[in-house]
């Protein structure tokens, strides 16, 4: 039996969440939960265990950078999980800021499903 991988997909664009979830579901055992902004994402993180977070940067209420810093600063079981940023922000400064806050990977939209999957496999050490 394959282990279940719980992924939290945080993006204010429903189309983007769907496309990331569609890509992730090609991996065996992945179960996705969606959140439309960082605040909702944080709330879902307090309610369940996740193995991975994929987040956009530009979102209303709480952006992805704040979400990353909340996850990394909280003494929770989520403190060490991989966080993949999937964003339209391609500037080196944005990437640097996200990585400094604790992002594990930084992908710029439009991103191909294969790139998302390769990044997830790499971070979760899947075969």
- 110 assigned to some structural domain: yes
38-79 tens-digit pLDDT: 999 999 999 999 999 999 999 999 999 999 999 998 766 778
Range of the domain at 46: 5-121
For residue 62, the 8-state DSSP code is S
Residue percentage of the chain with pLDDT more than 90: 84
Question: Average pLDDT, whole number, for the chain?
Answer: 93
- 127 assigned to some structural domain: no
Of 125, 82, 124, 126, nearest to 106 (Cα)?
Answer: 82
- 100 assigned to some structural domain: yes
Task: Count the domains in the chain.
Answer: 1
CATH number at residue 21: 3.40.50.2300
- 14 assigned to some structural domain: yes
Q: How is residue 86 written in tokens? A: 């999937």
92 band by pLDDT with thresholds 50, 70 and 90: very high
User: Which of 1-5, 33-37, 70-74, 87-91 is predicted with the least confidence, judged by mean pLDDT?
Assistant: 1-5
Flag whether pLDDT at 120 surpasses 60. yes
Of 56, 52, 63, 58, nearest to 30 (Cα)?
Answer: 52
- pLDDT for the residue numbered 3: 75
Residue percentage of the chain with pLDDT more than 70: 96
Could you tell me which residues come within 8 angstroms of residue 114 by beta carbon, excluding any fewer than 6 positions away? none
- 88 assigned to some structural domain: yes
- pLDDT for the residue numbered 71: 93
- pLDDT for the residue numbered 75: 61
Looking at the chain, list the stretches that DSSP marks H as alpha helix, in order from N- to C-terminal side.
14-24, 38-47, 64-73, 92-101, 113-124
């Amino acid at each position: 039996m394959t282990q279940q991988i719980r992924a939290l997909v945080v993006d204010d664009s429903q189309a983007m969440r769907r496309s990331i979830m569609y890509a992730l579901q090609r991996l065996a055992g992945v179960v996705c939960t969606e959140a439309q902004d960082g605040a909702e994402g944080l709330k879902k993180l307090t309610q369940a265990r996740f193995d991975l977070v994929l987040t956009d940067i530009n979102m209303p209420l709480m952006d992805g950078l704040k979400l990353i810093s909340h996850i990394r600063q909280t003494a929770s079981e989520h403190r060490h999980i991989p966080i993949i940023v999937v964003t339209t922000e391609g500037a080196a400064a944005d990437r640097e800021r996200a990585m400094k806050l604790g992002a594990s990977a930084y992908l710029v939209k439009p991103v191909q499903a294969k790139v998302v999957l390769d990044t997830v496999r790499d971070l979760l050490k899947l075969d």
